[in-house]
Structure 1
Amino acid sequence: MATNLINLETVGKAYPNRTLLDGVSLGLSDGDRVGIVGRNGDGKTTLLSLLGKTEPADSGRVTWSGGLRVGLLTQRDTLDPDATVRDQVLGGMAEHEWASDARTRDVLTGLFGGLDLPGLSHGLDSTVGPLSGGERRRVALAQLLITDADVLLLDEPTNHLDVEGIDWLARHMRQRKGAFAVVTHDRWFLDEVCTRVWDVQDGQVFEYEGGYSAYVLARAERERIAAVEADKRSNLMRKELAWLRRGPPARTSKPKFRIDAANALIADEPPARDQPELMSFANSRLGKTVFDLEDVTITAGDKTLLSDLTWQLGPGDRIGLVGVNGAGKTSLLRALATAAFDERQPAKGVIKVGKTVRLAYLSQEVAELDPTWRVLEAVQRVREHVDLGKRQLSASQLCEQFGFTGTKQWTPVGDLSGGERRRLQLLRLLMDEPNVLFLDEPTNDLDIETLTQLEDLLDGWPGSLVVVSHDRYFVERTTDVVQALLGDRNLRMLPGGIEEYLRRRREQMDSGLGSTPTSTGGAKPKPSADARAAKKELAKIERQLDKLTAEEAKLHEDMAVHATDSTKLAQLTARSATLADTRENLENRWLELSED
Structure 2
Amino acid sequence: TMLEVLAGIVETDSGRESRVGGLRLDVVTQRGVLPEGATVGEVVLAGIAADAEHEWAGDARIRGVLAGIGIARAEAAERPGDIDLALDARVDDLSGGERRRVALAAALVQELDLLVLDEPTNHLDVEGVQWLAEHLLARRSALIVVTHDRWFLDTVATTTWEVVGGKVESYEGGFGDWIFARAERARQADAVEARRRNLARKELAWLRRGPPARTSKPRYRIEAAEALIADVPPPRDSVSLSAFARRRLGRVVIELEDARLTAPDGRTLVDDLTWRLAPGERAGLVGVNGSGKTTLLRALAGDMPLAAGRRIEGKTVKIGWLRQELDDLPIDMRVLEAVQDIAERTTIGDKEVSAGQMAERLGFSPARQRTPVRDLSGGERRRLQLTRILMAEPNVLLLDEPTNDLDIDTLQQLEDLLDGWAGTLVVISHDRYLIERICDSTWALFGDGNLTNLPGGIEEYLRRRRDAPTRALHAPTASTPSTPGDAAAYRAARKELGRLERTMERLGERERDLHDKLVTAATDPGRLADLDAELKRVVAEKEATEERWLELAAEFE
SS in 1 for 2:87: helix
Tell me which residue corresponds to 2:250.
Answer: 287
Using the TM superposition, give the Cα deviation of residue 182 of structure 1 relative to its aligned residue in structure 2, in angstroms: 0.5
TM-superposed deviation, 1:108: 0.9
Q: Does 1:580 align with 2:529?
A: no
Is 1:394 aligned with 2:394?
A: no
Cα distance in 1 for partners of 2:351, 2:436 equals 24
C-alpha distance in structure 1 between counterparts of 2:470 and 2:330, whole Å: 50
Q: 2:255, 2:41 → 1: CA distance?
A: 48
In structure 2, the CA distance between the partners of 1:364 and 1:163, relative to structure 1 (3 Å rule), is same
Asked if structure 1 preserves the Cα contact closer than 8 Å seen for 2:331 and 2:373, the reply is yes
Q: Distance in 1 between matches of 2:83 and 2:271?
A: 26
Secondary structure in 2 aligned to 1:63? coil
State the partner residue of 2:63: 105
Q: 1:52 to 1:366 in 2, by over 3 A?
A: closer
Residue of structure 2 in register with 1:406 after alignment: 366
Q: Distance in 1 between matches of 2:91 and 2:536?
A: 67
SS at structure 2 position matched to 1:149: coil
CA contact (8 A) 1:388 1:462 kept: no
Displacement of 1:405 after TM fit?
Answer: 0.8
- After TM superposition, the structure 1 = structure 2 runs for residues 410-449 of structure 1, keeping only pairs within 5 Å, are 410-449=370-409
Once the two structures are TM-superposed, the CA of residue 168 in structure 1 deviates from its matched residue by: 0.8
Give yes or no for the alignment of 1:547 onto 2:503: no
Please, which moves more after superposition, 479-488 or 456-465?
456-465
CA distance in 1, matches of 2:481, 2:148: 42
1:390 and 1:460 in contact (8 A); partners too: no
Q: CA deviation at 1:135?
A: 2.3
- Structure 1: which amino acid aligns with 2:546? S
Q: Does 1:538 align with 2:487?
A: yes
CA contact (8 A) 2:493 2:552 kept: no
- Write out per-residue CA displacement over residues 482-528 of structure 1, whole angstroms, 9 at most, x where no aligned residue: 222222322232222222212222222xx024379xxxxxxxxxx9x
2:503 maps to a residue whose letter is K
Matched residue SS, 2:397? strand
Q: Look up the match of 2:140.
A: 177
Point out the more displaced range, 175-184 or 48-57.
48-57
1:452 to 412, 420, 423: 412
Amino acid at match of 1:580: L
After superposition, what is the alpha-carbon deviation per residue over 1:220-263, rounded to whole angstroms, capped at 9, x for unaligned? 222233339x9xxxxxxxxxxxxxxxxxxxxxxxxxxxxxxxxx
Inter-partner Cα distance in structure 1 for 2:55 and 2:280: 55
Deviations 1:162-205 (A, max 9, x none): 22111110111111113111111222211111111111112210
2:88 counterpart residue number: 125
Report 1:36-51 matches (<5 A). Answer: 46-51=1-6
Whether the 8 Å contact between 1:398 and 1:427 is mirrored in structure 2 is yes
Query: What's the offset of the Cα at 1:110?
Result: 0.3
CA RMSD in angstroms, aligned pairs only? 3.6
Residue 333 of structure 2 corresponds to: 373
Task: Assess if the C-alpha contact under 8 Å between 1:70 and 1:150 holds in 2.
Answer: yes
Quote the offset at 1:51 in angstroms.
1.8
CA distance, structure 2, for counterparts of residue 273 and residue 553 of structure 1: 19
Distance (whole Å) between structure 1 residues aligned to residue 26 and residue 481 of structure 2: 54
Q: CA–CA distance in 2 between the matches of 1:139 and 1:61?
A: 34
Q: Secondary structure at the match of 2:16?
A: strand
Match of 2:28 in 1: 73
- 1:109 partner amino acid: A
Are residues 582 and 448 of structure 1, via their aligned partners in 2, closer, same or farther at CA, if it must alter by over 3 Å?
Answer: closer
- 345 and 76 in structure 1: CA distance in 2 versus 1, 3 angstrom threshold: closer
Aligned to 1:148, which of 95, 111, 133? 111
For the 8 Å contact 2:447–2:471, the answer to whether it is kept is: no
Deviation (angstroms), 1:459: 4.0
TM-score relative to the length of structure 2: 0.76
- Structure 2 residue identity aligned to 1:55: V
* TM superposition shift of 1:371: 4.2
Does 2:491 correspond to 1:502?
no
* Within-5 A mapping of 1:80-479: 80-91=35-46, 92-93=49-50, 94-112=52-70, 118=77, 123-227=86-190, 285-301=248-264, 302-338=266-302, 346=306, 348-368=308-328, 370-390=330-350, 392-479=352-439
CA distance in 2 between counterparts of 1:577 and 1:570 reads 11
More strand by share: 1
The answer (yes or no) to whether the contact 1:162–1:324 under 8 Å persists in 2 is yes
8 Å contact from structure 1 (residues 362, 439) kept in 2 = yes
Contact 1:493 1:542 in 2 (8 A): no
Measured in 1, the distance between the counterparts of 2:84 and 2:482 equals 39
Mapped contact 1:439–1:468 kept (Cα < 8 A): yes
**Is contact 1:388-1:461 (8 Å) kept?**
no
List runs of 5+ in structure 2 lacking aligned partners.
Answer: 194-239, 516-534
- The CA deviation string for residues 285-330 of structure 1, in whole angstroms up to 9 with x for no partner, is 1132212333333333533322232222122222211122232222
Tell me how far 1:346 sits from its aligned partner: 4.1
Residue 410 (structure 1) shift = 1.0
Question: How far 1:533 sits from its partner (Å)?
Answer: 6.9
Per-residue deviation, residues 361-393 of structure 1 (Å, max 9, x unmatched): 222333455544321122123223222344543
Higher mean C-alpha displacement, 83-92 vs 177-186? 83-92
Separation (CA, whole Å) in 2 of partners of 1:450 and 1:48: 21
Q: Contact 2:340–2:355 (CA<8 Å) still a contact in 1?
A: yes
Q: Is the 8 A contact 1:199 1:205 kept in 2?
A: yes
1:482 aligns with 2:450: no
Q: Percent identity of the aligned residues?
A: 50
Q: 1:337 to 1:74 in 2, by over 3 A?
A: closer
Describe the shift of the 1:493–1:561 C-alpha distance in structure 2 as closer, same or farther (beyond 3 A): farther
Structure 1 Cα separation of the partners of residues 309 and 364 of structure 2: 44
Question: Runs of 5+ in structure 1 lacking a partner?
Answer: 1-45, 231-271, 517-526, 589-596
Task: State whether structure 2 residue 3 is matched by structure 1 residue 52.
Answer: no
CA deviation after TM superposition for structure 1 residue 89, in Å: 2.3
Query: What do residues 403-438 of structure 1 show as CA deviations (whole Å, max 9, x unaligned)?
Result: 211310111233333443332222112101111111
- When residues 458 and 570 of structure 1 are mapped into structure 2, their CA distance, relative to the original with a 3 A threshold, is closer
2:190 aligned counterpart, secondary structure: coil
The aligned counterpart of 2:202 is none
* Structure index of larger Rg: 2
Counterpart amino acid of residue 314 in structure 1: A
> Quick check: 2:481–2:490 contact (8 Å CA) kept in 1?
no
Name the SS of the counterpart of 1:222 in structure 2. helix
Q: Give the length in aligned residue pairs.
A: 478
| Secondary structure of the corresponding residue to residue 373 of structure 1 | coil
Asked if the contact 1:401/1:453 (under 8 Å) is kept, the reply is no
State which drifts further: 50-59 or 89-98: 89-98
Contact 1:548 1:583 survives alignment (8 Å) = yes
Equivalent AA in structure 2 for residue 193 of structure 1: V
Shift of residue 460, structure 1, vs aligned partner: 4.7
Whether contact under 8 Å (1:388, 1:460) holds in the other structure is: no
Identify the residue that residue 453 of structure 2 maps to in structure 1: 493
1:241 corresponding residue in structure 2: none
